[in-house]
Chains A and B, each alone.
Chain A
């Protein structure tokens, strides 16, 4: 009996919270209905896409892709070095605590704002974008890499320590070879995320196809917007398929 009352109270509370949340967000269903009509009309206005427009999208797309790839590579390298200090079996207690906290904090900063800060320091352009992506990797890859390093069997590390190997030797010869496929797999996964981020960052000033998309929308050049949108989809889907394919192959050919 009491359980039922509790359930009802919880349900009511839940409804109340949802109602307030809707108020807080300005959730207006009528606006949505009107909006859907508007956007459908506007979506049809976007067709058909312009072939010349499309051709001009190739270079920006390549730029966005390069940013993502470079950002991921640099980010992986930096994250690996940081991960070494964040792994309990390689690093000492206090350093590990400090570095792991740093990684968690980085994870909580949206990459968009990292870019804004970098733009304030270094101006618009590819350098800021690459640095933003690179730093953004640390939150995710730092943690994943450190966890992977910690999976190295203790007996391996102890036998190397017992024979007198130095810390760097233990990392390079003992830990790195076995953890490497996992690192590549995580890096590829991050690449999928970075390509989306690269598009988003482009809209704030990093250039590339994100910028084209945002510009086309704000200039109400709908055909152009559609071309850029299609290009973005090709880019994102392409990278995701490639990444999934390579990661599957890695899993099968583990050895």
Chain B
């Protein structure tokens, strides 16, 4: 479970990038964050793991032992341990191109291996077998030895998800994971994310409201740094227009462009 409380980020010139955003996500939920470009969606996501310094606000994460930890007020060691259980995937360019799929998956657990051991001995057989089973879960085991540079966009994202799974996370965050994918692969990835939400909460930032409506269990809309919608994934036209304004034609071209 992760809880964001009054997240606020203000620039020196007074502009509010994040304006008092609060929400809570539990296991079993697949949360989709929507909003126009620059609204603050990615910033919200990054603050959830402490990759962004906030002017105000707290983020509480429930540990495996039911303890609640405030991300911004923990010691570095505790934060690092916490992070090994949080997985983050991006739109793209988040894998090592010259390494194989298996290598990339193994990198997911670097946080739990002491630096010295990882540098000298690398990964042991137990870890490698576990990495292979992560690849199997996303149906990529046959490409385990393939260099990532040779994989397609959809395959790369599946490797990224396998890497996330290998962490055995308590939380999965995704920043526009399907924005570079063709419709078929986008649906595959969304399907995988929905399945994963039964194991741990999944929070994703998306630019595709129709897919969100179809796969997410809950939607939050952010506009100009403020949360303007938090509820079930039922998106009528009026709501979409309110959220996206002029951008609607770009976001859903088939339906709204002339």
CA distance A105 to B116 in the complex (A): 34
Task: Check B110 against A158 for contact (C-beta < 8 Å).
Answer: no
Q: Give the size of the chain B interface in residues (CB under 8 angstroms).
A: 38
Task: Check B84 against A178 for contact (C-beta < 8 Å).
Answer: no
Task: Check B88 against A162 for contact (C-beta < 8 Å).
Answer: yes
CA distance A169 to B99 in the complex (A): 15
- Does B91 count as interface, using CB distance less than 8 angstroms? yes
Task: Check B83 against A164 for contact (C-beta < 8 Å).
Answer: yes
Task: Check B87 against A163 for contact (C-beta < 8 Å).
Answer: yes
- Does A180 count as interface, using CB distance less than 8 angstroms? yes
Q: Which residue of A lies closest to B83 (CB)?
A: A164
Residues 155-179 of chain A, each 1 if its beta carbon lies under 8 Å from chain B, else 0:
1101111111110110011100110
- Does B115 count as interface, using CB distance less than 8 angstroms? yes
Q: Which listed residue, A163, A177, A178, touches B83 by the CB 8 Å rule?
A: A163
CA distance A160 to B99 in the complex (A): 15
Q: How far is the CB of B70 from chain A (nearest CB, A)?
A: 17
Q: How far is the CB of A157 from chain B (nearest CB, A)?
A: 9
Residues 99-122 of chain B, each 1 if its beta carbon lies under 8 Å from chain A, else 0:
100000001111110010011000
Q: Which residue of B lies closest to A181 (CB)?
A: B98
CA distance A201 to B111 in the complex (A): 48
Task: Check A156 against B93 for contact (C-beta < 8 Å).
Answer: yes
CA distance A174 to B98 in the complex (A): 10
Task: Check B81 against A164 for contact (C-beta < 8 Å).
Answer: yes
Q: How far is the CB of A174 from chain B (nearest CB, A)?
A: 6
Task: Check A155 against B90 for contact (C-beta < 8 Å).
Answer: yes
Q: Which residue of B lies closest to A172 (CB)?
A: B119
Residue of A153, A160, A162, A173 contacting most chain B CB atoms (<10 Å): A162
Q: Which residues of chain A come closer than 8 Å to B80, judged between CB atoms?
A: 164, 166
Q: Which listed residue, B93, B118, B150, B160, touches A169 by the CB 8 Å rule?
A: B118
- Does A255 count as interface, using CB distance less than 8 angstroms? yes
Q: Which residues of chain B come closer than 8 Å to A153, judged between CB atoms?
A: 93-94
Q: Which residue of A lies closest to B169 (CB)?
A: A163
Q: Which residues of chain A come closer than 8 Å to B81, judged between CB atoms?
A: 164
Q: Which listed residue, A158, A164, A177, touches B111 by the CB 8 Å rule?
A: A164
Q: Which residues of chain A come closer than 8 Å to B99, judged between CB atoms?
A: 177
CA distance A158 to B42 in the complex (A): 13
Q: Which residue of B lies closest to A175 (CB)?
A: B96
Task: Check B110 against A163 for contact (C-beta < 8 Å).
Answer: yes
Q: Which listed residue, B97, B107, B175, touches A160 by the CB 8 Å rule?
A: B107
CA distance A178 to B93 in the complex (A): 12
Q: Which listed residue, B95, B111, B147, touches A156 by the CB 8 Å rule?
A: B95
Task: Check A162 against B83 for contact (C-beta < 8 Å).
Answer: yes
Q: Which listed residue, B83, B96, B160, B167, touches A174 by the CB 8 Å rule?
A: B96
CA distance A165 to B107 in the complex (A): 9
Task: Check B90 against A164 for contact (C-beta < 8 Å).
Answer: no
CA distance A177 to B98 in the complex (A): 6
- Does B243 count as interface, using CB distance less than 8 angstroms? no
- Does B89 count as interface, using CB distance less than 8 angstroms? yes
Q: How far is the CB of A59 from chain B (nearest CB, A)?
A: 40
- Does B240 count as interface, using CB distance less than 8 angstroms? no
Task: Check A255 against B149 for contact (C-beta < 8 Å).
Answer: yes
Residues 100-139 of chain A, each 1 if its beta carbon lies under 8 Å from chain B, else 0:
0000000000000000000000000000000000000000
CA distance A160 to B89 in the complex (A): 10
- Does B49 count as interface, using CB distance less than 8 angstroms? yes
Q: Which residues of chain A come closer than 8 Å to B83, judged between CB atoms?
A: 161-164
Task: Check A255 against B108 for contact (C-beta < 8 Å).
Answer: no
- Does B57 count as interface, using CB distance less than 8 angstroms? no
CA distance A168 to B118 in the complex (A): 10
- 5 shortest interchain CB distances as A-B pairs: A164-B111, A153-B93, A164-B83, A162-B88, A155-B90
A163-B167, A178-B97, A181-B98 are known contacts; what are 13 more A-B pairs with Cβ within 8 Å? A155-B92, A158-B51, A158-B90, A159-B89, A162-B87, A163-B86, A163-B111, A164-B80, A164-B111, A166-B111, A169-B118, A172-B118, A173-B110
16 contacts between A and B (CB under 8 A): A156-B93, A156-B94, A159-B94, A162-B49, A162-B173, A163-B108, A163-B109, A163-B110, A163-B167, A164-B84, A165-B110, A168-B115, A169-B110, A169-B118, A178-B97, A254-B149
